Amino acid sequence: MDCKFIPGSFETLAPHWREIQHNPGGSPVFTTPGWMQIWWQHFGSGAELLLGAVECQGTVIGIAPLRVKDGVASFIGSADVSDYLDFVVEQGKEESFFGVFLDELVKRGIRQLDLESLRPDSTALTSLAAFAGKRGWQVSRKQSGVTVALDLPATWEGYLDTLTTKQRHELRRKERRLSEMGELKVRASDAAGADMDIFLKLFRDSRQDKKDFMTPAMEAFFRSLAATLSAQGILKLKIMELDSLPVAAVLCFDYHNRIYLYNSGYDPGYAWLSVGLLSKVLCIKESIRIGREKFDFLSGAEVYKYRLGGQELPLFHCRMSLEENHGGGM
């Protein structure tokens, strides 16, 4: 098959990129062109962009979204804000894509890959790792963390039945106690203006580590991300109000029939009412109501994720290298 690597920009590759991602088995939200372009604009300084497509017989079969620094190629993104990263490849075309991709790396003198935030089903692990090994690349991987997700049943009652008797009882008790404290409302927002200010304040107020994380540079990234993904219909901001006072908020992504719980915050003055937990519970309830299949708590092993029925998967960090005297061809 006649295949070649075509360098491109976010703008020129976006139509092909989105088409591949809309196919069955599409890549995670963190690998969309909008997400990666925003990350690059805010955090890409000091690296060279290596962004291109593999085209076979006139059809684009995959996207390589990479950056290069000190001779090492990595994904556009970082583990602190991009929970899952990967190549974007049409199913069944992995061998053709990675063959051209590895040839392109060698041609450019790039002999090291450092790939993080990999799910077990990422193409980097299921296809590239084995293919690169056959071509003489040294491949190593190690578990770097865990992610937790929940398969959603068809009904709320069906979800409650998946919980232990104790967790089900505690959840209902917390919901009842909160509803007795005043008028409870959860409203959806486009994450613009004052509502984004509310989210950022609740985020910072909820924990010291979140306050330290949300630097001015990170806030600028969050605001750009919210504006872009909200316009695409992907980002959902839910603000929980008690008697019209914002007490908790969750920032989610609705993408490929999956809800990603990206970040959240709450007013510590209402911690005794479990508003942080219940804002997530109500997000799960809404996800079931609109018929989504999976609720992804994303990376991290926080206890509440398991108590709400989440199941754990490992995340990996993979490194690949090719000796200078090895051509890397077949």
Residue 265: which CATH number? 3.40.630.30
Please tell me whether residues 168 and 280 are part of one structural domain. Answer: yes
Answer yes or no: is 327 within a domain. Answer: no
Answer yes or no: is 87 within a domain. Answer: yes
194, 202 Cβ separation under 8 angstroms = no
The pTM for the full model equals 0.93
Please tell me whether residues 279 and 158 are part of one structural domain. Answer: yes
Please tell me whether residues 67 and 182 are part of one structural domain. Answer: no
pLDDT tier for residue 327 given thresholds of 50, 70 and 90? low
pLDDT tier for residue 328 given thresholds of 50, 70 and 90? low
Answer yes or no: is 34 within a domain. Answer: yes
3-class SS of residue 191 = coil
Answer yes or no: is 301 within a domain. Answer: no
Please tell me whether residues 20 and 134 are part of one structural domain. Answer: yes
pLDDT at 326 (0 to 100): 58
Please tell me whether residues 171 and 202 are part of one structural domain. Answer: yes
pLDDT tens track for 162-203: 999 999 999 999 999 999 999 999 999 988 789 999 999 999
pLDDT tens track for 249-306: 999 999 999 999 999 999 999 999 999 999 999 999 999 999 999 999 999 999 999 9
3-class SS of residue 58 = coil
Please tell me whether residues 104 and 178 are part of one structural domain. Answer: no
Please tell me whether residues 7 and 139 are part of one structural domain. Answer: yes
Q: How many domains does one find in the chain?
A: 2
Please tell me whether residues 140 and 124 are part of one structural domain. Answer: yes
Please tell me whether residues 18 and 119 are part of one structural domain. Answer: yes
Question: What is the span of the domain harbouring residue 183?
Answer: 153-292
Answer yes or no: is 198 within a domain. Answer: yes
DSSP 22: T
pLDDT at 224 (0 to 100): 96
Lowest mean pLDDT among 109-118, 187-196, 233-242: 187-196
Answer yes or no: is 300 within a domain. Answer: no
Q: For residue 262, which of 306, 229, 215 has the smallest C-alpha distance?
A: 229
Answer yes or no: is 58 within a domain. Answer: yes
Q: What percent of the chain clears pLDDT 70, i.e. is strictly above it?
A: 96
Residue 58: pLDDT over 80: yes
Please tell me whether residues 106 and 23 are part of one structural domain. Answer: yes
pLDDT at 325 (0 to 100): 59
pLDDT at 22 (0 to 100): 82
Dihedral angle at the C-alpha atoms of 305, 171, 260, 42, nearest 10 degrees? Answer: -80
More confident residue, 26 or 185: 185
Please tell me whether residues 47 and 81 are part of one structural domain. Answer: yes
Q: What percent of the chain clears pLDDT 90, i.e. is strictly above it?
A: 93
b/e map of 166-180 (b: 16 or more CB within 10 Å)?
eeeeebeebbeebee
Q: For residue 240, which of 277, 194, 291, 295 has the smallest C-alpha distance?
A: 277
pLDDT tens track for 32-51: 999 999 999 999 999 999 99
Please tell me whether residues 102 and 75 are part of one structural domain. Answer: yes
Answer yes or no: is 96 within a domain. Answer: yes
Cβ-based neighbours of 96, under 8 Å, separated by 6 or more: 1, 3, 54, 56, 61
